[in-house]
Amino acid sequence: MAPSKQQRLLWVHSTEPTSVRRRDKTTMTKIRRHVMEDIGISRRKPQQNPQFVIEVGSPTEVNSLLPPFWSQDPLSILEQEWQMDNFSAYGMSLLATEGKRLLGNADALTSEGFSFPFAFTSSAFLRHFRPIFSDPSVLKQIYHQSSGRVRVMALERSLGTISCIEATVAQPKIDPATADRVICAVLSIICYNLLSLEFNQARVHLGGLGGLIAARGGIQSLNGNNELRLIIFWVDVTTCLLFNMRPRYSLPLDLIPAMFHTDSSKGLPMPLSRILATAEAEIGVKLTHIPVCVADLSEVALAIESELAVRGDALWDDEIFLGLRINPLAHRLFDRAGPTAGFSSHLHQILESVRIGMIVWIIWVKRMCRSWPGSPMAYVPELLSMLSAETNWAANTALDALDDMLSVRLWLSVLCGIASCHGSCERETAVKLIAEDVHRLNRKEWGEVMVRVRQMPWINSFETPLAGLRSHVQLLHLS
């Protein structure tokens, strides 16, 4: 077999005297150069400010991604083969995150993380190494052996990407400084920040992204790059949910399904429909914002149920299908203002509770497809506080509307319960609220209670976390 790298050898006769003074000058010069070359290489410091062109490169060919290729030191192989591209830092960090999740024996459908679907389409290297991310044995081995090293590698790649972005943006010409590849690189760093739970850094880079897009001429200047527009949309909605803020950019209506209502008269769950019909008659104002969103959420729930019937749990790996349906709804919930001034505080609180309940619903679905990088209980405490305000729900409510009011509140309380961590005070509060409403319903059976809840937007995948909640409610109810 031919050697992979040609070596330069210098032969010195061992039979000659060892004293250096007895050798001729030419031989001594060769020996000194040969020795000092290796010493110089060993002393050479790594480049302090590595630069790379912000482009998607081509992966080095690898013969096989199957054992025994990965049986020795998979991270070393990755380090040798994985070159720098936009999503290098995200990809390396994802290796550690997925390995940690698998070693912790967490439920694959509800684990925290940030599985960003466009990373694999935008990065040639992530596409090339994609089989690794579906191989639990390799992921666990990488994390078990080298979790700290993976994080260092990811940090190095993020710093290299930022350095390259800064150098590109510093160019005097505006076109290269605001090119698509530069915007994509900034988005990739934001995704790395979200996956690493570096939310303050993500905010900083969001500001930088806004500056780049504004300098380029606004979001409409990206109309020729649909994938980049979807990446921006995904990141925009995720940060709205994380930071409870309005979206920075408008909905890309030409890229999302045309499945949203303009009128809540169709598709609105019956309990909420009757409550709002009574309220509209009292105040003489037609409610359009939150009721329409509830009707949209019911449509989304039906679409998810239909796909689950065909694809089963494999649906949770298709974050693009799910995101195209729930992200536009999340965008509308944060983009539109609250109920119009003039509504009674009673109605305002009910509508705001429903809005936050829809956000909890969306976050839970995002967690099931591992696309939620924040706390599962981000909005639960606020919603529980609203639900606990008794005057907003039961007091001064007509008897014919009380059942509808309890149905809506039960739905919201159940959402809080399944989204709360076991043993948390939020879980205990949610269980108490549910037990109180079950008591108001004349101690009806659990199945009858859930009939009311399922009238509101619901999917069967909520039934698994509901089982544990049910046992807690029944224990409290019987005591």
Domain boundaries, the chain: 74-255, 270-478
8 A C-beta contact, residue 411 and residue 456: yes
In whole angstroms, how far apart are CA 294 and each of 169, 198, 380, 409, 422?
A: 43, 32, 18, 14, 28
**Cβ distance 330 to 343 under 8 Å?**
no
Q: What are the residues whose beta carbons fall under 8 Å from the beta carbon of 124, sequence distance 6 or more?
A: 56, 57, 58, 59, 85
Tokens read off for 349: 């609180």
The tokens of 38 are what? 């290796």
Rounded to whole angstroms, the Cα distance separating 101 from 142 reads 12
| CA 16/CA 26 separation, integer angstroms | 15
Q: Which two tokens stand for residue 2?
A: 């031919």
Question: What is the structure's pLDDT at 21?
Answer: 54
Q: Cis before residue 339, ω within 30 degrees of 0?
A: no
Q: Tell me, what DSSP letter sits at residue 21?
A: G
Segment holding 326, helix H or strand E: helix 319-335
Helix, strand counts (H, E) of the chain: 20, 0
Q: pLDDT digits over 375-401, tens only?
A: 888 999 999 999 987 655 654 455 456
Residues 354, 321 contacting (CB under 8 angstroms): no
The angle, 0 to 180 degrees and rounded to 10, between the axes of the packed helices 446-453 and 399-419 is: 90
Low-confidence ranges of the chain (pLDDT < 50): 1-7, 14-15, 18, 48-52, 56-69, 106-111, 339-342, 395-396, 399
Other CB atoms within 10 Å distance of the CB of residue 139: 23
Distance CA 364, CA 358 (A): 10
Residue 257's pLDDT is 87
Q: What angle do CA 462, 463, 465 make, to 5 degrees?
A: 75
| pLDDT in the model for residue 275 | 82
Dihedral, CA of residue 211, residue 213, residue 214 and residue 220, to nearest 10: -160
Q: How far is it, in rounded angstroms, from Cα 74 to Cα 68? A: 10
Give which of 308, 396, 309, 408 is closest to 355, Cα–Cα: 408
Q: Which helix (H) or strand (E) holds 368?
A: helix 345-368
**Residue 288: exposure state from Cβ atoms within 10 A (0-12, 13-18, ≥19):** middle
CA separation, residue 447 to residues 233, 450, 465 (Å): 40, 5, 16
Instruction: With beta carbons less than 8 A apart as the criterion, state whether 305 and 461 touch.
Output: no
What is the spatial distance between Cα 127 and Cα 124, in angstroms, rounded to a whole number?
A: 5
Q: What angle do CA 473, 475, 477 make, to 5 degrees?
A: 65
